[in-house]
């Protein structure tokens, strides 16, 4: 078990900067998820840590050791690939035993460890089969077994669940999390699935275009997103963004969105004046922090129902206000008809304001 | 009954060709090998005497030299077996090695194309090339030998009984390495990159990745390469015919060449012996092919 420190990591492929000055500190035994859309540099980061790619700049430490120049086999890491990368010509037993054989462990020790891992992963009865004869979920377990058997310092996982069907994925998510808690092995896990990230991680590192956007616990990523990208990437359906300008009238500050005005509290106004680089702002509200009313209310904004998406217990109502459409998540509300007049109000504590130019969070 | 008629109709032309050009000549040859011939006419039943004559001939099986562990000529049958024993492992291993080494090399494709040229040229041209290469005065081989100061060993390698066969075999290694290299290159492409990466992380060195991952995963390719080159080595004719005509003194002769001489060269022709040789060759290739087929199917 070890701490992993990445400092100023940069990796370029030709003209493309895959990872740009990334700094990340993973505590001993921590479960960290690298989250971002495809092409954001998360897998490249993982491959640099594994030693499969050589960084152009920056340092990578595993434990206290600088590993930049070490080949993968000397880093004491284990990796689970998206495709599992099982050796098709070997039986499950030999697949799991392979890392130990390569390290010349005595036969009895190999046997003991393989059987122990097989028991832990409940694949004892599969040891004599070839990978081809296993289901996706079973192959996944074998890949995990091959990683576990060596008792590595760090687990690296590259979208290990994305080849499983939805139901199995949810099940394996919980299994993986339990396993990691039990073994307390430092784990770095790459995914583009925000639900996976939110449910499994101790901390999430959100990446975009090779740049680390925010590195924090799941609850903080959700409630205090540091950039427009993070705010829009986490949450389903994503946060509503409304372009607006700051207007001051008779000592009061408003966000003018054209179709409506949103009055800022004194505290909010102060922060905006201090931090905003211009009067061009983005107002952000999550669908679950908007209340839908069928009658006019104080501070309510009038709109029309554009479309209704039922989710069973909840509805997502698309409300058209001026030219923009707001998504509102609300409990089932009787009959809602298209084009019906409705009013929406924002939960004041859960309103975010971003600088439109820098895309950084102000409130 | 009617349902079967249409497919049969479509198969008929191909079946007719097969019957006319493969099955009929083969059956004719096998039967002919048990008959007594005089020129082109059958004069009686020979029983196994054609086979006795063929296998007893020192051109086919030189038992005396074999028992004394002497060099060629050892008889065409033994030469064919030597050909298999030397050329097949060498060209297969070399092809695999080159495919692995040239996989990630810049310009590897160009080098591979040059090596594959051996396979592209007609075998007859290959035979003529070999004659040039081994020539005492104009040949590249002797030029190199002189260059490294071993000039006293320079000679026309294909003209001496103890080196003629081996020279041709080495030449055919060059020709067949391209074949196995191209097949192995394609096979390597089909192995997912992650498997090699996983092996690197699992602690395998370059050689152990090669031995534990690459070689076993290329097994289907190996079977194809081995089969094709063994069958070719059994049937080899053109290279020998053009380069040495089996000489000197039968030192580089092979079964197909002996068959050719007996059927079309000797006066009068010895059809019985020729047909016996063909039958022996066919049985050997067929036996081997069936063995490999069962190996693959299993």
B168 and B218 in a common domain? yes
* Best mean pLDDT range from A103-107, B42-46, B111-115: A103-107
Inside any domain, residue B4 = no
Per-residue model confidence as pLDDT tens digits over B179-237: 999 999 999 989 999 999 999 999 888 899 999 999 999 998 998 898 888 888 888 88
B181 and B112 in a common domain? yes
DSSP letter assigned to residue A5: E
**Both tokens assigned to A253:** 């500050």
pLDDT for res A287: 93
Burial class of residue B267 (count of CB atoms within 10 Å of its CB; 0-12, 13-18, 19+) = exposed
Q: Which of B194, B202, B217 sits opposite A102 (nearest CB)?
A: B202
Question: Using CA atoms, how far apart are residues B270 and B56, in angstroms rounded to an integer?
Answer: 15
Alpha carbon A121 to its chain centroid, in Å, reads 26
Question: Using CA atoms, how far apart are residues B122 and A312, in angstroms rounded to an integer?
Answer: 73
| CA distance, residue A340 to nearest chain B CA (Å) | 55
Per the CB < 8 A criterion, the answer to whether A348 and A283 are in contact is no
| CA distance, residue A72 to nearest chain B CA (Å) | 5
**At CB < 8 Å, which residues of chain A contact B?**
50-52, 71-73, 77-79, 81-83, 85, 87-90, 98-99, 102-103, 146, 150
Closest Cα in chain A to B219: A89
DSSP characters for A219-269? HHHHHS-SBHHHHHHSSSSPPEEEEEEEEEETTEEEEE-SS-EEEPPHHHH
Examine the pLDDT at B3 and tell me if it is beyond 80.
no
pLDDT for res B199: 93
Q: What is the mean pLDDT of residues A10-24?
A: 92
B139 and B203 in a common domain? yes
Residue, of B172 and B69, whose pLDDT is higher: B172
Interface residue B221 vs chain A (CB under 8 A): no
Q: Which among B83, B92, B85, B90 is positioned nearest to B221, based on CA atoms?
A: B92
The answer to whether B201 contacts A83, with C-beta atoms less than 8 Å apart, is no
The answer to whether B202 contacts A99, with C-beta atoms less than 8 Å apart, is yes
Inside any domain, residue B12 = no
Other Cβ atoms less than 10 A from the Cβ of B141: the count is: 20
Last residue of a domain, one of B251, B267, B288: B251
Inside any domain, residue B275 = yes
Residue range(s) of every CATH 2.40.50.140 domain in chain A = 240-355
| CA distance, residue B192 to nearest chain A CA (Å) | 8
Q: A240-355 domain in CATH 3.40.50.10860?
A: no
Last residue of a domain, one of B214, B236, B251: B251
B240 and B107 in a common domain? yes
State percent of chain B over pLDDT 90: 20
| A297-303: Cβ within 8 A, 24+ apart | A297/A343, A297/A345, A299/A263, A299/A345, A300/A343, A300/A344, A300/A345, A301/A259, A301/A260, A301/A343, A301/A344, A301/A345, A302/A260, A302/A341, A302/A342, A302/A343, A303/A341, A303/A342, A303/A343, A303/A344
Q: Which fold has domain A4-233?
A: Rossmann fold (3.40.50)
| CA distance, residue B105 to nearest chain A CA (Å) | 18
B281 and B179 in a common domain? no
CATH value at residue B90: 1.10.3720.10
The answer to whether A73 contacts B195, with C-beta atoms less than 8 Å apart, is no
Examine the pLDDT at A229 and tell me if it is beyond 90.
yes
Count of domains for chain B: 2
B99 and B154 in a common domain? yes
* Residue ranges in chain A assigned as alpha helix (H): 42-50, 92-102, 107-121, 136-148, 166-183, 194-200, 218-223, 228-233, 266-275
pLDDT for res A335: 80
Q: What is the mean pLDDT of residues B152-161?
A: 81
Per the CB < 8 A criterion, the answer to whether A156 and A48 are in contact is no
> Which residues span the domain enclosing B276?
29-59+253-298
| CA distance, residue A167 to nearest chain B CA (Å) | 26
CA distances from B202 to A75, A87, A95, A151, B21 (A): 10, 12, 10, 12, 56
Interface test with B, best of A48, A81, A104, A140 (most B CBs within 10 A): A81
Per the CB < 8 A criterion, the answer to whether B259 and B117 are in contact is no
The answer to whether A87 contacts B213, with C-beta atoms less than 8 Å apart, is yes
Which chain A positions have a beta carbon within 8 Å of B197's beta carbon?
50, 52, 72, 79, 81, 85
Residue, of B12 and A251, whose pLDDT is higher: B12
Cα angle B237-B238-B243, degrees, rounded to a multiple of 5: 110
The answer to whether B192 contacts A83, with C-beta atoms less than 8 Å apart, is yes
Per-residue model confidence as pLDDT tens digits over A146-174: 998 988 999 999 998 888 888 888 888 89
Which chain A positions have a beta carbon within 8 Å of B202's beta carbon?
73, 98-99, 102, 146, 150
The answer to whether B202 contacts A81, with C-beta atoms less than 8 Å apart, is no
B281 and B227 in a common domain? no
* Best mean pLDDT range from A211-225, B247-261, B283-297: A211-225
Per the CB < 8 A criterion, the answer to whether A137 and A172 are in contact is yes
The answer to whether B200 contacts A72, with C-beta atoms less than 8 Å apart, is yes
Closest Cα in chain A to B194: A85
Residue range(s) of every CATH 3.40.50.300 domain in chain A = 4-233
Examine the pLDDT at B72 and tell me if it is beyond 80.
no
Q: What is the mean pLDDT of residues A95-103?
A: 93
B243 and B120 in a common domain? yes
Interface test with A, best of B190, B195, B196, B202 (most A CBs within 10 A): B202
B132 and B206 in a common domain? yes
Closest Cα in chain A to B199: A99
Q: Which residues contact A202 (CB under 8 A, 6 or more apart)?
A: A27, A30, A31, A32, A217
Mean pLDDT across chain B, nearest whole number?
A: 85
B49 and B136 in a common domain? no
A-B CB pairs within 8 A amount to 59
Q: What is the mean pLDDT of residues B270-278?
A: 79
- Residue B2: band (very low, low, confident or very high) from pLDDT cuts 50, 70, 90: low
Q: What is the mean pLDDT of residues A220-246?
A: 92
CA dihedral A32→A37→A43→A48, nearest 10 degrees, is -80
Question: Using CA atoms, how far apart are residues B52 and A332, in angstroms rounded to an integer?
Answer: 98
Cis? peptide before B144, omega within 30° of 0: no
Q: What is the mean pLDDT of residues A255-276?
A: 87
Interface test with A, best of B190, B194, B198, B219 (most A CBs within 10 A): B198
Question: Using CA atoms, how far apart are residues B187 and A305, in angstroms rounded to an integer?
Answer: 59
Which chain A positions have a beta carbon within 8 Å of B213's beta carbon?
87
Q: What is the mean pLDDT of residues B142-164?
A: 83
Host H or E run for residue A26: strand A16-26
pLDDT for res B263: 80
The answer to whether A87 contacts B194, with C-beta atoms less than 8 Å apart, is no
Inside any domain, residue B74 = no
Per the CB < 8 A criterion, the answer to whether A191 and A159 are in contact is yes
Inside any domain, residue B292 = yes
Q: Comparing A185-194, B75-84, B151-160, B219-228, which segment has the lowest mean pLDDT?
A: B151-160
Angle between helices A92-102 and A136-148 (to 10 degrees): 20
Closest Cα in chain A to B208: A102
Interface test with B, best of A51, A52, A53, A91 (most B CBs within 10 A): A52
Examine the pLDDT at B116 and tell me if it is beyond 90.
no
The answer to whether A98 contacts B216, with C-beta atoms less than 8 Å apart, is no
B123 and B42 in a common domain? no
Which chain A positions have a beta carbon within 8 Å of B201's beta carbon?
50-52, 72-73, 77-79
Host H or E run for residue A20: strand A16-26
Interface residue B191 vs chain A (CB under 8 A): no
Q: What is chain A's alpha carbon radius of gyration, rounded to the nearest angstrom?
A: 25
Examine the pLDDT at B1 and tell me if it is beyond 60.
no
pLDDT for res B298: 62
Q: Comparing A71-80, A210-219, B231-240, which segment has the lowest mean pLDDT?
A: B231-240
B169 and B44 in a common domain? no
The answer to whether B198 contacts A71, with C-beta atoms less than 8 Å apart, is no
Interface residue B207 vs chain A (CB under 8 A): no
Mean pLDDT across chain A, nearest whole number?
A: 91
Per the CB < 8 A criterion, the answer to whether B118 and B126 are in contact is yes
Burial class of residue B98 (count of CB atoms within 10 Å of its CB; 0-12, 13-18, 19+) = buried
**Is 0.85 exceeded by the ipTM?**
no
Q: Which of A73, A82, A85 sits opposite B203 (nearest CB)?
A: A73
């Amino acid at each position: 078990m070890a701490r992993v420190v990445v400092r100023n990591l940069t990796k370029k492929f030709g003209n493309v900067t895959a990872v740009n000055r990334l700094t990340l500190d993973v505590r001993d035994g921590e479960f960290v998820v690298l989250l971002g859309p495809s092409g954001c540099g998360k897998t490249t980061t993982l491959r640099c840590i594994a030693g499969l790619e050589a960084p152009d700049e920056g340092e990578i430490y595993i434990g206290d050791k600088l590993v930049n120049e070490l080949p993968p086999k000397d880093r004491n890491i284990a990796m689970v690939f998206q495709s599992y990368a099982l050796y098709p010509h070997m039986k499950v037993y030999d697949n799991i035993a392979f890392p130990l054989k390569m390290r010349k462990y005595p036969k009895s020790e190999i046997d003991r460890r393989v059987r122990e891992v097989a028991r832990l992963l409940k694949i004892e009865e599969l040891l004599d089969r070839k990978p081809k004869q296993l289901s996706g979920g079973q192959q996944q377990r074998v890949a995990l077994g091959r990683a576990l058997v060596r008792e590595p310092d760090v687990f690296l996982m590259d979208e290990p669940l994305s080849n499983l069907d939805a139901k199995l994925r949810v099940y394996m998510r919980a299994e993986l999390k339990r396993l990691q808690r039990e073994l307390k092995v430092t784990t770095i896990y790459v995914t583009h699935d925000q639900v996976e990230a939110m449910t499994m991680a101790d901390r999430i590192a959100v990446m975009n275009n090779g740049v680390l956007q925010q590195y924090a616990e799941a609850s903080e990523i959700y409630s205090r997103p540091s950039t427009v990208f993070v705010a829009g990437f986490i949450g389903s359906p994503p946060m509503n963004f409304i372009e607006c300008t700051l207007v001051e009238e008779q000592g009061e500050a408003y966000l003018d969105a054209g179709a409506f005005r949103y009055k800022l509290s004194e505290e909010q106004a102060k922060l905006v004046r201090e931090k905003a680089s211009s009067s061009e702002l983005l107002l952000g509200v999550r669908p679950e922090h908007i209340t839908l009313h069928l009658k006019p209310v104080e501070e309510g904004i009038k709109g029309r129902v554009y479309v209704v998406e039922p989710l069973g217990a909840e509805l997502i109502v698309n409300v058209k206000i001026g030219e923009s459409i707001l998504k509102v998540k609300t409990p089932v509300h009787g009959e809602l008809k298209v084009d019906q007049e409705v009013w929406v109000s924002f939960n004041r504590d859960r309103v975010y304001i971003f600088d439109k130019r820098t895309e950084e969070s102000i409130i | 009954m009617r349902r079967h008629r249409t497919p049969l109709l479509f198969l008929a032309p191909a079946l007719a060709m097969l019957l006319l050009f493969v099955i009929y000549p083969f059956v004719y040859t096998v039967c002919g090998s048990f008959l007594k011939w005089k020129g082109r006419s059958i004069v009686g039943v020979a029983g196994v005497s054609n086979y006795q004559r063929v296998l007893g001939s020192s051109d086919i099986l030189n038992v005396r030299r074999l028992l004394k562990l002497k060099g060629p000529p050892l008889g065409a049958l033994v030469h064919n077996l030597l050909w298999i024993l030397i050329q097949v492992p060498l060209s297969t291993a070399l092809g695999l090695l080159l495919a692995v080494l040239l996989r990630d090399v810049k310009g590897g494709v160009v080098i591979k194309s040059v090596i594959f040229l051996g396979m592209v040229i007609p075998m007859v041209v290959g035979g003529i090339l070999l004659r040039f290469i081994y020539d005492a005065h104009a040949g590249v081989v002797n030029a190199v030998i002189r260059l490294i100061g071993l000039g006293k060993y320079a000679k026309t390698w294909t003209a001496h009984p103890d080196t003629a066969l081996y020279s041709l075999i080495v030449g055919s290694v060059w020709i067949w390495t391209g074949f196995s290299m191209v097949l192995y290159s394609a096979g390597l492409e089909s192995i997912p990159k992650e498997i090699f990466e996983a092996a690197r992380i699992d602690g395998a060195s370059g050689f152990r990745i090669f031995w534990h991952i690459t070689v076993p995963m290329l097994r289907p390719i190996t079977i194809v390469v081995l089969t094709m080159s063994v069958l070719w080595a059994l049937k080899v004719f053109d290279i020998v015919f053009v380069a040495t005509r089996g000489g000197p003194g039968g030192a580089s002769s092979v079964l197909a060449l002996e068959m050719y001489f007996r059927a079309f060269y000797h006066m009068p022709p010895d059809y019985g012996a020729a047909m016996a040789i063909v039958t022996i060759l066919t049985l050997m290739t067929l036996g081997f092919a069936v063995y490999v087929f069962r190996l693959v199917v299993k």
